[in-house]
Each structure stands twice: as C-alpha cells, then as structure tokens.
A and B are shown apart, each in its own frame.
Chain A
Amino acid sequence: MRQRSALARKTLDPLHRQPESDVTLRVNGVARKLAIAPWTTLLDALRLYLGLTGTKKGCDHGQCGACTVLVDGRRINSCLALAVMKDGADITTIEGLAQGETLHPLQQAFIAHDAFQCGYCTPGQICSAVALIAEGKARNADDIRELMSGNICRCGAYPNIVAAIEEVISGGAGKTSP
C-alpha cells in the first residue's frame, strides 16, 4: 500500500501548475500533514496519500455514496470535495469507527443483518448511517430509506441495510440474528 501511494504521487505531482499546498487533515483523531495539488479530491487524499482505502471510489461523481465520510461530523461525498478546502477539518472514515477491537454498533448490526453482499458500498453506507442517526431526523423506515437514498447498493441489500439501521436507532445495537 505504501508503494502504491508513492507511485500515485509520482504520477500526479509533475502535472502541477502551482506549488503544492500544505494541508492538515485531522483523520480519525490523528493530525496528518500533506503537501498536495489543489485538484486532489478528499477521496484521493485519503486513499492515495494516507493509504486509508476503506473509503471507496464508486462513481467519482457524487451519484453513488461509496465515498461518504464525515467532515466535522457531517456526511459528505469525499469525491466532490477538494482536500485543500478541508484544511484543519476533522474527518472520520470507516477506519475510525471501531473502538479498538470493539466494532461500532452499526458495523455490528450490518454483520448481524447481513446488510451487504459484495461489500463495496458498505463503508459509505455505514458512515452515512452514523450521520443519519446523529442528525436525528429519521423516525421510521420510510425516513431511513429516504435519508439513505444517497447510498446506492448494486447488490440490492437495501431491506437488510434498513433493518440494521432501524435496530441501532431503537437501541438494539446489532445483537439480533438475521
């Protein structure tokens, strides 16, 4: 992974028109200083420069939600954010949700409810669901479906995703078997 990051940097850097900017991102509680070109998206900064490949690149156009991360507590599409504009921001990715060996309740609930098949959309689904719960606007399954509509699952695991989120909202914390 370290090698791939170095390779990616080599192919990106010779293109720059202005000097790289120094950007500090606080990622999963750790301050990470980067020198990056302004056209580097937050998604590419996380994956290529910081080696945090849990956040996925799906469509790269803000249509699928696979790249969802939390910036200062709010869910966004990291593929449409320029990293240079997030200098100083607090960023939470899927890698930052577990407490040591203890999974986040949503991670546990996704396992308990079999809320994925291929798993590619799952990091974005879970980050999005973390924010959905924090936002406190979802009162029923209709609301969950609507407020999770920014996360596409091509395998069609939607019923189980909704069930997993419903369970965490109601305090079940992923203990139920599917």
Chain B
Amino acid sequence: MINFAYARAHDVADAVRQIAADPHAKFIAGGTNLVDLMKENVARPSRLIDITHLPLAEIRETPEGGLSIGALVPNSDLAYHPDVARRYPLLASAVLAGASPQLRNMASSGGNLLQRTRCVYFYDTATPCNKREPGSGCSAIDGVNRMHAILGTSEHCIATHPSDMCVALAALEARVLATGAKGERRIAFADLHRLPGDAPQHDTTLAADEIITAIELPAQGFAEHHTYLKIRDRLSYAFALVSVAVGLALEGDTIAEARLALGGVAHKPWRDPAAEAQLVGAAATAETFRRAADTLLSAARGFGRNDFKIELARRSIVRALTQAARGTPQSQSDKRIA
C-alpha cells in the first residue's frame, strides 16, 4: 500500500468538491474492496475521502411505493431489513449469498455497486491487464480463465462483475441516484455498469466527480415468485461461477411478467430482453424455460477453461425459473438445490 492523505467529507456537496479537486482521490466507505486493492498496489489513491459520516444510511419509502436505500446502508442491514426481507426477498437473498457476515457488516450498498472484478490478472500487477493498465493486453483470454465471462466480452477484457447484489438489482430494475458537480441524476440500473469494449478500465458510466447517494427499488418486488441461485466452487463465501436472479409474476400457469438476470457471466449483470419477452405469455413449463435459456445464451462464447459455464448457465437458468415458478426460492443456508 502506498502512502496517502486522509480527509473526511462533511456533506454530499463537500464530498463532490473534494473528489473534483484531486483526480487521484477516491471515496472510501466500507473499504472491503478498496483497502484490499490498495494492499495489492492495484489501487493507488493519493487521498482517501471518508464518506462514512454522510447522512446516507437510511432505508425509506418512496412516493412511488418502492424503497430508497441509502448508499451507506451496510449490506447486512439491507438484507435483514424487515421491509426488504418481506417485499424484496430476491434482493435479501442475493445479498446473503455474497461475501461473509463480517464483510457484509462493513460493505456499503453504494460500494457493492462499485466493487472491481476479482479477475486474478487484474490483481496480479506482474501481468498485463487492460483494466488495470489500459493498452497492456489481456492475460485472461489465453490464460487461466475458468472464472471469466462468456457474454459481452471484447478482445480487450473478459472480466466478470463480482457482485451478487447487483444481479438482483438488475432483475428488479432498480435506479441509482448519483450526485456530481453538475447536480443529481437517476441512472437506470442497466445503464450503470458497462461492457468492456475498448475501455475496460471503466466499470461504470459514473463521472469521476459523482457519488452514489441511494438505490431506489420500484414497487414490484416479485416477492411471490423469485429465486437467487448461485453456483460456486464451495458452498459459501466464494464468487459465483454462474448465478441467476429470477422474478416472475404468474396468472395461473401463464407468465405475466418475467425478469431474468445472470451473474458471473459478463462484465455487468446480464439481461436479455428477447429471452424475457419469450417467457411472457408462455406457460411456466420446463420447455419454456429451456427456450429462454437457449435464447439468452445464443451468443455465449467460452475461452477454453470456462466453456463449461455455457452449459452450467443453461441448466442454472432452467432450475432458477423452475424454483421461482413453484414459489420455492433457493435457501442461502440449506445449500441443497431443489
């Protein structure tokens, strides 16, 4: 870790002023990813701006009948909040599928959105990585890429976004509230994270001087028919090989509304409007689910060691849609997959 200066932000405007004044400064809240990256010399901020004293730790109702989650609400408080657990069990389940209780106590909701990939080459400063050092090359494409992306990749980067929470937020069509020098704006969740393209150093569409202040959930929480199914190398405390967030609204056996988002397969939580459109109006059967999985994965491409993820994703999608349709969501404690 290189040495750095430390300052506290007193309010949101002060935080924006401070970050705009120093292009090498970074905000710190929970620090669970940033401090780790600093220890690895991957992140080398000149200054840390401590935002933990800002008044952004509330969960409250929105006028539209949804919930607003302050950016500083710890992941654990979010998952166990009674309104979140009751109305947005998909989100609660995804949060509890990630990290450990200690990390969930530290990690903030806003920070979860901004965590960096866990690609081993991004972390290893002895190897080329376009995300860490633009133009240096991608070591993963011909390297140990078992954990890497199968959708939306580019010749410059095949990293995945590591968050579980974000997969649920994508399925729920949350919005992100951000404040910068130009004022406040709302970002549709699908527009927050970007694909690597030729600029994989940018994970999100946020401007350098913007701070996330809240995440807004719409009223529809799919509490009756949802699941978060996470497949990983060990039963807990591991990043996803593939994860699937599903929210369904059913009318009898017919699917009236469908949300399907995948984690562990792309540079951002992956949704496919064509696959979701195919589900709507169809009977909730295994055949319907297989067709949607085939559509979503039609452009999937492996890089050798992660080829297995395509079939794993196909089966996980069918299984998750089945769990959601039956109203039997995956338990994050009893790990048997029903």
Contact = CB atoms under 8 A, between A and B. Distances in A.
Interface of A: 15-18, 21, 37-39, 41, 60-62, 65, 68, 74-77, 80-82, 84-85, 128, 131-132, 135, 137, 140, 142-143, 145-147, 149-151
A147 B101 contact: yes
A17 B5 contact: yes
A15 B1 CA distance: 11
B48 A77 contact: no
B80 interface: yes
A82 B102 contact: no
Given A81-B31, A85-B31, A85-B52, A76 B105 contact: yes
B24 to A, nearest CB: 12
A146 B332 contact: yes
A77 B102 contact: yes
B102 A39 contact: no
B36 interface: yes
A134 to B, nearest CB: 11
Given A74-B105, A80-B36, A147-B101, A137 B4 contact: no
A62 B50 contact: no
A12 B314 CA distance: 52
Size category, B interface: 20 to 34
A82 B35 contact: yes
Contacts of A145: 236
A7 B289 CA distance: 64
Interface in B303-338: 332-335
Given A17-B3, A146-B332, A82 B31 contact: yes
Q: Is the interface of A mostly helix, strand, loop or mixed?
A: mixed
Contact of B106 (A16, A80, A147): A80
B35 A146 contact: no
Interface of B: 1, 3-6, 28, 31-32, 35-36, 38-39, 48, 50, 52, 76, 80, 99-103, 105-106, 235-237, 332-335
B31 to A, nearest CB: 6
Contacts of B31: 80-82, 85
B7 to A, nearest CB: 9
B6 A132 contact: no
A130 to B, nearest CB: 12
A39 B103 contact: no
Given A41-B35, A80-B32, A82-B28, A21 B6 contact: yes
Nearest to A146: B333
Contacts of B100: 65, 149-151
A85 B76 CA distance: 19
A143 B333 CA distance: 5
Contact of A150 (B50, B237, B335): B237
A85 B102 contact: no
B101 A128 contact: yes
5 contacts: A60-B39, A65-B102, A77-B106, A128-B101, A142-B333
